[in-house]
Structure 1
């Protein structure tokens, strides 16, 4: 493994980025290497799932002794848990800048939230979405009347295409991503909402990627619905949420049929309740909701300018280093923009002559770096980018530091210059070392055939 060297003459911004912006769980995790050594794990896979903030992990430990089933419980622990669970709604409403009458419904994740909303759309309208969406914001709409818009090479032209479709009428909802999970590019959600409302449609923003990186204010921007996931937002404990206008949610098909979602049940009929309970049947994920709210509180208190600078410096550094390597291409959606769009901490790239999965396996096994490879659950987008077999994605977060970015750049440069130091083979559809010397922790089972298994990314 090559030794990462960071230049001594660093700018003040790069010097500041040598330290993580916030403390996260697993920050000093030791990763084994094929040569028998270990190195601090460089987690550059935040866009897939973010580690828990240290403050969130500590809060979970504090909360665990009080865990109990919520609602209708007379016991002390149940009362505490219920209070925490319901207060979490208010925290999330504030976090996204919601209106006072917006509903906050807890779900499993963003995908679950969008499927819930798909069951609440009035029968008279269609859903409009771009062809660059994550599958979570594409597949739920297949069950309802829908149409897609081909994103153009510039944002302005894409907005014009959206408005042209809206002008044709019959659109009830525009579903748009706040930031691409593939390239990190941020789409103008306020402008999209303005166009939708001009033509009598509503808008939902998939903020799974945007919320962990930018402030949201759905009341100011007139966003009707926003969805997000705890596991992207430094609270990886199985909860997500949809926040938005009550009328569709109160009249839509209950997301789950079961206890807690009803006013009255007879053997041959049911009267469903309204409000969040309508879609939260069964015992809810109290710990997931509570930790999601705690993460939102923590992020809301960050110094926004310093936070954005930390992320921008890391993204810019890695992009510049990668673009300086022959055979490496950094990918963008809106290629005709004269200046790069605002983007979250995501860098998507490919290395000519090397399968993306092989590069990812090499970076992990020989450099202790975790990046994502494949199609990122965005098959139509990868195909239009000319990457039918996938690409690589390095993504930053609050726990990232300059050494992480440098290690990726050094590893890719070494690969192009010197080639692989070890042999790799394809096993169960994924690249793995031909001779695996790295052991899992004693408590972790090494389940055969599961290494890197990600059918959605392989496509």
Structure 2
């Protein structure tokens, strides 16, 4: 049953064993780094453990009962993921190591489709995972790399003139991991498709936090990671339209993804098997399915509403502190629950270290988005990122810790 109305955060927190622990100096853990990786509820931990205790076998191999059960669990997880993002078929879901590998799979697969004179269009607000693979594709093919620029508030300047008949692929984040900015992906997809270009969306920061339907999104490919949405580390997802996946060659090769092997040559199975060589990560798939069941029960609209409330509180609380600058939009319009900020006179790493001493876990640095930081006039920032288990009391703890950091460094 899906939850209706505000989330019961106290009940949610009880499902996360790690949130009950203390950290430095015996302080309670205030975990504000879900943009890097989310914590895991007991249901996910149980699903992984139960797989190893009762069903452990190599999926898609063997005719014994355990092998059949492992295959059912793995393919059941694929169906669960497909339903979560509105895919037309489970066969549109490819399991990868993470979102980074999923993006690289597409970038590698397009190598034979691009050449000099063609253009790859990305944005200045991307995580390195959705920037560097396209740089490498441009180097391999002689294509030209172009990008939508960031505006001073961190939002995206969607210049339609950059989308031309030479554009072959447009890659854009679904939500910035630094500023929380949510670009107009559907509009960008429309422009791209009118020009005959493909569209890839990096959904690592969007799929965990608000409803995502691939039909409404208008993309050809969507990449995301299980570990940022309550699931286990080591499993990512590439969704692709069936015809788009069919057109891609294998990225990695080995067992399980072959049709016929002879000493002279090999032919390959259709997607998704073509892109999943080796023994499948069934335990991680079981964990991801449990995570999706957990989020689905909460309701993704409720998840998004809770995070918006936390973000609004954080923006107000931090902006009330003299010398604190929000990196990116200062309102919740078209932005998610990642708030990057700077403290005048204090390096972000020093801010993070003081916050850690108080039990507040945040991320510091350029967050694998160096070009965006340069565009916004800073080399690094401190970032707090929120999820379903965070409370308004923790937002106040963040603000108190920032005030203490200012006092500690005498600014």
Q: Bigger radius of gyration, 1 or 2?
A: 1
The answer (yes or no) to whether the contact 1:85–1:289 under 8 Å persists in 2 is yes
SS at match of 2:206: coil
1:357-372 equivalent positions in 2, closer than 5 A: 357-365=349-357, 367-372=358-363
2:228 to 224, 229, 232: 232
Corresponding position of 2:126: 133
Structure 1 stretches lacking a partner, 5+ long: 1-12, 421-459
Asked if residue 107 in structure 1 is aligned to residue 104 in structure 2, the reply is: no
> CA separation of 1:44/1:29 partners in 2, compared to 1, >3 Å: closer, same or farther?
same
Q: Provide, for residues 62-92 of structure 1, a one-character-per-residue CA deviation record: whole Å limited to 9, x for no partner.
A: 2222121111311211110101101111111
1:384 to 375, 384, 392: 375
Matching of residue 324 in structure 1 with residue 320 in structure 2: yes
1:251 to 247, 250, 253: 247
**Of 361, 368, 392, which aligns to 1:402?**
392
Tell me, what secondary structure is at the counterpart of 2:212?
coil
Structure 2 partner of 1:412: 402
Within 5 A, what are the aligned runs for 1:67-146?
67-100=56-89, 103-121=92-110, 123-124=113-114, 125-144=118-137, 145-146=143-144
Select the structure that is richer in helix.
2
Q: Secondary structure at the match of 2:266?
A: strand
1:276 Cα deviation from its structure 2 partner: 1.2
Contact 1:47 1:396 in 2 (8 A): yes
Instruction: Name the counterpart of 2:32.
Output: 44
Find the partner of 1:149 among 147, 150, 159: 147
Instruction: Find runs of 4+ consecutive structure 1 residues off by over 6 angstroms.
Output: 13-19, 154-157
C-alpha distance in structure 1 between counterparts of 2:176 and 2:212, whole Å: 16
Aligned equivalents of 2:178 and 2:202: distance in 1? 14
The answer to whether the 8 A contact 1:128-1:175 is kept is yes
My pick for the range that moved more, 23-32 or 278-287, is: 23-32
| Contact 2:154-2:327 within 8 A present in 1 as well | no
Offset of residue 17 of structure 1: 6.3
Does the CA-based 8 Å contact 2:221-2:240 persist in structure 1?
Answer: yes
Q: In structure 2, what is the Cα distance between the partners aligned to 1:216 and 1:323?
A: 30
Q: Distance in 2 between matches of 1:199 and 1:240?
A: 30
1:77 & 1:123 partners in 2: Cα distance? 42
Give the root-mean-square deviation of aligned CA atoms: 2.3
> For 1:211-290, what aligned pairs fall within 5 Å after superposition?
211-290=207-286
Pick one of 373, 376, 380 that aligns with 2:364. Answer: 373
The residue that corresponds to 2:140 in the other structure is: none
**How many residues are aligned here?**
395
Normalising by structure 2, we get a TM-score of 0.90
Trace 1:280-319 onto structure 2 (pairs within 5 A). 280-319=276-315
Cα deviation per residue 1:171-199 (whole Å; 9 max; x = unaligned)? 22211100000011111211111111111
Q: 1:207 touches 1:227 (CA, 8 Å); kept in 2?
A: yes
8 Å Cα contact 2:209-2:300 kept in structure 1? no
